[in-house]
A = this chain, B = another copy of it.
Amino acid sequence: MSTINIQILADTLNISKSTVSKALRDSHEISKETKKKVKELAAKMNYSPNPYASSLRKKKSRTIAVVMPEIADSFFSLAINGIQSVAEKKGYHVLIYLSHEKYTNEKKILGEVRNGRVDGILISISKETKNEEPIDKILAAGVPVVFFDRELESVHTASVTTNDYECGYVAAKLLLQKGCRRLLFISHSASLPICKKREAGFRMALLDAGCPEKKGQVIYGTDNEKSNYQLIKKSLAAKQRPDAILASVEKIAIQVYIAAQELGLKIPEELKVLAFSNLETAPILNPSLTTVTQPAFEIGKSAATILFKGIEKKHFRLENERVIIPSVLIERRSTSI
């Protein structure tokens, strides 16, 4: 910890620390020469103000928190990029927290940022989260919160999401058009709004196409990667196996590819695959993967932009901000005939 502070600068220049403070912040009440002297000395001594003293005094931390389920996922890394791009511009610092899809972790994290540590929070909730209390407490403490991608709909605050329902519909419709009749939606959550919407769109497309509802046309992944994989492989090995898979997230698509490979199932001839994914490698997979690609960077950027409005404008009504940025369906070989 740099032991050099404003008092030392003041002493060496034989002026008061308030003068130094003002000089460093270019106050108009300080003379040109004094400012120059002070700034030169500060530079020479490698002075850098203690941010926490300043935060304490000003009740502003110039820091935001990003809370999300995981980070080793294309969507989330890209979203952080978007968030960071606006935080940088605003001169804000970014704290990252991972819930690992656990509500209790998330709750603990939220408890630790409700006390002045951050000026605002961006959150993508865990799979388990149903209770709005931790977030409501934060809002009650006057800290703005913006959801990105995974929201908790019952909480009255801003959110930036994508058109999940529509994409679920369009994705299923494409698979039907390609002649598939035994579609399987593999979802990573039965409760997450984004997954429910994708699923609802998927079901509606089947309905519209006159396909009867069938048991097993949707299955849900668990937390456990291994058992997930077994589940997927089992479905693909069944006698009445699906002829098309819609994967709700890239990790599942990868597992489907690997399972198909192991089972000797040819994609797209014997099995079509379509995934919600931001995989940069989608075009060079074997075969190239048809994706619903979310605007991950833009979602992060937009959410952060809204958050800063909430931080900077005292009376900005966050709860009126519900941005939906559409995803785009990109057809590739995995769904070709």
Contacts and interface: CB of A to CB of B under 8 A. Distances in A.
Interface stretch (A114-122, A153-161, A182-190, A200-208): A114-122
A81 B71 contact: yes
A284 interface: yes
Q: How many copies does the complex hold?
A: 2
Interface stretch (A14-22, A51-59, A301-309): A51-59
B115 A49 contact: yes
Given A114-B46, A284-B254, A1 B59 contact: yes
Interface stretch (A33-41, A93-101, A165-173, A241-249): A93-101
A176 interface: no
B48 A115 contact: yes
Contact of A77 (B2, B49, B53, B72): B72
A111 interface: yes
A280 interface: yes
B281 A115 contact: no
Interface stretch (A135-143, A191-199, A229-237, A316-324): A135-143
A287 interface: yes
Nearest to A251: B280
A52 B56 contact: yes
Interface string A28-70: 0000000000000000001011111101100101010000001
Interface of A: 1-2, 46, 48-53, 55-56, 59, 61, 63, 70-74, 76-78, 80-81, 84, 88, 93-98, 111-112, 114-117, 137, 140-143, 254, 257-258, 261, 279-281, 283-288
